[in-house]
Amino acid sequence: MPRLFDTQSSEIVEIAPRVEGQFSMYVCGPTVYDEPHLGHGRFTLVYDILRRYLRYRGFEVRFVSNITDVDDKIIARAGELQIKPEDLAKNYEEVWWDLMERLAVQRPDETPHATDWIDQMLEMVAGMVASGAAYETSDGIYLEVAKVDGYGLLARQNLAELRSGARVEVDEQKKSPLDFALWKRTSEEEWGWNSPFGFGRPGWHTECVAMALGILGEGFDLHGGGMDLAFPHHENERAQAVAMHRSFARHWMHNGFVMVGDEKMSKSLGNFTTLKELLDSTDPRAYRLLVARSHYRSPLEVTAEILQDASRSLERIDAFARRFADVVTQRSDVVLNKVVIDGFNDAMDEDLNSPVGLSRVFEAITRANFAQDRGHVEEAVSNAKAALLLLSTLGIVVQDRLEVPEEVMVLAKQRKAARADRDFAAADRYRDEILRLGYVVEDSESGFRFKRA
Ligand SMILES: [Zn+2]
């Protein structure tokens, strides 16, 4: 059974799912108001790797990740640009999915949008008001965190400590600075919905609770997100579930920051580099490899040199994949190397240790190449097969066919036709021309393939 570091117990625990063989996870998705940055790229890759790994281990995974399409930031940005907030959210959601595709992040099974869940949120808020856990001020409905058992669990601080550290706000109607809005009342000129609590919109923390419980039900297996979401966002999600006497996530997982130099990557610190800029300038697989090479809870450093190094590792992976593409299909009788698979599984089972898992893959690649050089085909193929399976488990798509210019492809087809006509002189001329363009063409089972000359 895989184990993960659970933020609420602060230790690595077995994550046995509530229903045997079925794993339910909810990950806070993006607030679509701007270009995603590297931190977004990281969290989405971490949970994509977890999801792929659990599936590979035989779990049926149900993965829900929301789109926050109503938020103060969306409204503010739309105001600046003088467009409708709905349109801004729609545009940036498209940007998001486009980037996810480039990163080879698989779509969640469900991607609820906050604006489709307003009724359910209002029902929750009404329940919390009725039970006395929430109260009304002139600008909205607030949850009284003092009434929530164990508030501070995810922040790893108790209520008194949190209160003394909280920013003193001007809002004197709030009973505590830690109390947070479930429903924000706004003027009717703003974007909002009618409700028993006045015209307004939901608080961010309320959105995820409605969607997670609404789709996955009580006691779902894992709630994840970036480390910066543990407090207050996740703390406040949990607080609402406690206030409603409903069981929430059984485990909590948080991934580390992206660092540029020594600083956390975030827009407010001014070191904002967009994910698009990165993917435009580098093979998107390099970022995935970088994420997999670091433990998910550690800070991830991104520099041009580190990305280049990852690109070199990818070249090595691709060269290996090209070398073994045909032989692996031909030798379907050879079984996966058990030592490689077990080494990988052991690492990944222990708090998703992908850096160690990946090093097992690279060892297998080295052994496969070494054995193949010596003509030990069985050993080569069993290592190669294992490495290829594990690379795909990490979501690293190998390029086992060298991409060539159209011109080269046309010549290769002409050469093939010439050979079929037994016109070997013509076939040799085509081969020489291909060589002049920098490629070597080789015949293979499935037709032909290329190498760099
Ligand atoms: Zn959330």
For the CA atoms of 385, 387, 390, 396, the dihedral, rounded to the nearest 10 degrees, stands at: -110
Q: How far apart are the CA of 99 and the centre of ligand 1, in A?
A: 20
- Residue where one domain finishes, among candidates 206, 227, 255: 255
Q: How far apart are the CA of 262 and the centre of ligand 1, in A?
A: 27
Q: How far apart are the CA of 241 and the centre of ligand 1, in A?
A: 13
pTM value is: 0.90
Classify residue 128: in a domain, yes or no: yes
Specify the DSSP class assigned to residue 194: -
Please indicate whether residue 163 or residue 15 has the higher confidence score (pLDDT). 15
Q: How far apart are the CA of 43 and the centre of ligand 1, in A?
A: 13
Please indicate whether residue 1 or residue 112 has the higher confidence score (pLDDT). 112
Classify residue 431: in a domain, yes or no: yes
Residue 437 has pLDDT above 70, yes or no: yes
Sign of the alpha-carbon dihedral angle for 74, 79, 85, 87: negative
Q: What is the pLDDT of residue 263?
A: 57
Mean pLDDT of 399-418: 89
Q: How far apart are the CA of 29 and the centre of ligand 1, in A?
A: 7
Mean pLDDT of 358-376: 97
CB 324 within 8 A of CB 368: yes
Tell me the per-residue pLDDT of 128-142, one tens digit each, with 9 for 90 and over. Answer: 999 999 999 999 999
Q: How far apart are the CA of 206 and the centre of ligand 1, in A?
A: 8
Looking at the 3D structure of the chain, how many domains does it have? 3
- Return the closest-CA partner of residue 228 out of 250, 254, 204: 254
Q: Which residue is listed with tokens 């210019």?
A: 405
Q: How far apart are the CA of 398 and the centre of ligand 1, in A?
A: 33
Q: What is the pLDDT of residue 231?
A: 94
Side chain identity at residue 318, one-letter code: D
Side chain identity at residue 237, one-letter code: E
Residues 174, 115 within the same domain: yes
Q: How far apart are the CA of 146 and the centre of ligand 1, in A?
A: 21
Question: How deeply is 106 buried, as exposed, middle or buried, from its count of CB atoms within 10 A (0-12, 13-18, 19+)?
Answer: middle
CB 355 within 8 A of CB 293: yes
Residue 350 has pLDDT above 90, yes or no: yes
Q: How far apart are the CA of 174 and the centre of ligand 1, in A?
A: 23
Residue 107 has pLDDT above 60, yes or no: yes
Q: How far apart are the CA of 264 and the centre of ligand 1, in A?
A: 20
Rounded to whole angstroms, the Cα distance separating 274 from 281 reads: 11
Q: How far apart are the CA of 233 and the centre of ligand 1, in A?
A: 6
Q: How far apart are the CA of 205 and the centre of ligand 1, in A?
A: 6
* Distance spanning both ends of the chain, measured CA to CA: 48
What's the CATH code of the domain at 123? 3.40.50.620
Rounded to whole angstroms, the Cα distance separating 44 from 39 reads: 9
Residues 153, 242 within the same domain: yes
Q: What is the pLDDT of residue 443?
A: 79
Rounded to whole angstroms, the Cα distance separating 96 from 88 reads: 12
Residue 165 has pLDDT above 80, yes or no: no
Percent of the chain with pLDDT over 70: 96
Consecutive H or E run containing 69: none
- Please give the residue range of the domain that contains residue 293: 275-393
Residues 198, 149 within the same domain: yes
Classify residue 356: in a domain, yes or no: yes
Q: How far apart are the CA of 208 and the centre of ligand 1, in A?
A: 5
- Return the closest-CA partner of residue 226 out of 268, 203, 258: 258
Tell me the per-residue pLDDT of 250-302, one tens digit each, with 9 for 90 and over. Answer: 999 999 999 875 555 555 444 557 899 889 888 999 999 999 999 999 999 98
Q: How far apart are the CA of 28 and the centre of ligand 1, in A?
A: 4
Percent of the chain with pLDDT over 90: 82
Residues 201, 230 within the same domain: yes
Q: What is the pLDDT of residue 46?
A: 98
Mean pLDDT of 339-360: 98
Q: What is the pLDDT of residue 269?
A: 46
Mean pLDDT of 113-132: 97
Q: How far apart are the CA of 27 and the centre of ligand 1, in A?
A: 7
Residue 110 has pLDDT above 70, yes or no: yes
Edge to edge, the sheet with strand 134-137 lists: 134-137, 140-143, 180-185, 200-202
Q: Which residue is listed with tokens 């090209």?
A: 322
Classify residue 432: in a domain, yes or no: yes
Q: What is the pLDDT of residue 268?
A: 46
Q: What is the pLDDT of residue 423?
A: 94
Please report which confidence band the pLDDT of residue 169 belongs to, taking 50, 70 and 90 as the band edges: low
Tell me the C-alpha to C-alpha distance, in Å, between residue 80 and each of 73, 83, 166: 11, 8, 30
Mean pLDDT of 444-453: 74
Instruction: Report DSSP letters for 233-283, one per residue.
Output: IIHHHHHHHHHTT----SEEEEE--EEETTEE--GGGT---BHHHHHHHS-
Residues 169, 282 within the same domain: no
Residues 415, 389 within the same domain: no
Q: How far apart are the CA of 300 and the centre of ligand 1, in A?
A: 22
Tell me the per-residue pLDDT of 36-66, one tens digit each, with 9 for 90 and over. Answer: 999 999 999 999 999 999 999 999 999 999 9
Classify residue 174: in a domain, yes or no: yes
Classify residue 401: in a domain, yes or no: no
Side chain identity at residue 54, one-letter code: L
Q: What is the pLDDT of residue 402?
A: 79
CB 346 within 8 A of CB 57: no
- Residue where one domain finishes, among candidates 255, 286, 313: 255
Rounded to whole angstroms, the Cα distance separating 240 from 237 reads: 5
Q: How far apart are the CA of 234 and the centre of ligand 1, in A?
A: 7
Instruction: Report DSSP letters for 416-432, one per residue.
Output: HHHHHTT-HHHHHHHHH
